[in-house]
């Protein structure tokens, strides 16, 4: 039978464990695909150009100290290819997404406490940041901007976004 002292100790332990679970830090890295091959203007799903493949390697070097649990990408060649060196190094898979709101909700629900990388496009990466309840750290990502890297950090109720660049300046 539990004494009052043991019951109180058990309740304190449960509260501490619940607090630890709720305060798990989730790290989400968001990147745009690299430069795409424009040799065929009719190609609606171009691969990365030589510059884009170099940028993918530069991204992996820039994030070499980060251990990713999962990668998400739109279902386009260029977004998959920007992540390939990272997923190979981390031995993880790429899961496709189509809807930004669903992606953000799934990450919050299923990947709390994990480290995630997401590849998107110039017109979606800032929307992804907003889907996590944050303001855009910059006003726009232009068609010529390839070297931005955003880091969304969610720790309990605290959320923030950091901005970085990697590789050669684009444009």
Tally of domains within the chain: 1
Q: What is the pLDDT of residue 2?
A: 63
In a domain, 19, yes or no: no
Helix, strand or coil for residue 30? strand
Mean pLDDT of the chain: 91
pLDDT in tens, 13-39: 675 555 555 559 999 999 999 999 999
Higher pLDDT, 12 or 75: 75
pLDDT in tens, 31-73: 999 999 999 999 999 999 999 999 999 999 999 999 999 999 9
Mutual angle of helices 77-90 and 50-62, in 10-degree steps? 40
In a domain, 131, yes or no: yes
Please check the confidence at residue 142 and state whether its pLDDT lies above 90. Answer: yes
In a domain, 12, yes or no: no
**Which structural domain, as residue segments, surrounds residue 113?**
25-165
In a domain, 13, yes or no: no
Beta-carbon contacts of residue 108 (< 8 Å; ≥ 6 apart): 26, 132, 154
Please report, for the domain that includes residue 154, its CATH number.
Answer: 3.40.50.1240
Gap between the Cα atoms of 118 and 47, Å rounded: 18
């Amino acid at each position: 039978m539990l004494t009052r002292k043991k019951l109180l100790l058990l309740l304190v332990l449960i509260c501490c464990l619940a607090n630890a679970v709720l305060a798990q830090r989730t790290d989400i890295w968001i990147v745009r695909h690299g430069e795409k091959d424009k040799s065929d203007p009719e190609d609606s799903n171009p691969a990365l150009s030589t510059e884009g493949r170099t940028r993918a390697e530069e991204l992996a070097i820039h994030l070499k100290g980060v251990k990713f649990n999962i990668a998400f990408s739109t279902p386009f060649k260029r977004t998959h290819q920007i992540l390939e060196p990272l997923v190979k190094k981390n031995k993880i898979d790429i899961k496709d997404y189509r809807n930004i709101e669903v992606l953000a909700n799934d990450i919050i629900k299923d990947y709390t406490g994990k480290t995630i990388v997401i590849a998107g496009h110039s017109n979606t990466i800032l929307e992804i940041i907003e889907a996590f309840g944050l303001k855009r750290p910059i006003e726009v990502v232009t068609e010529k901007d390839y070297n931005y890297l955003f880091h969304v950090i969610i720790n309990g109720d605290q959320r923030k976004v950091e901005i970085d660049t990697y590789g050669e300046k684009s444009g």
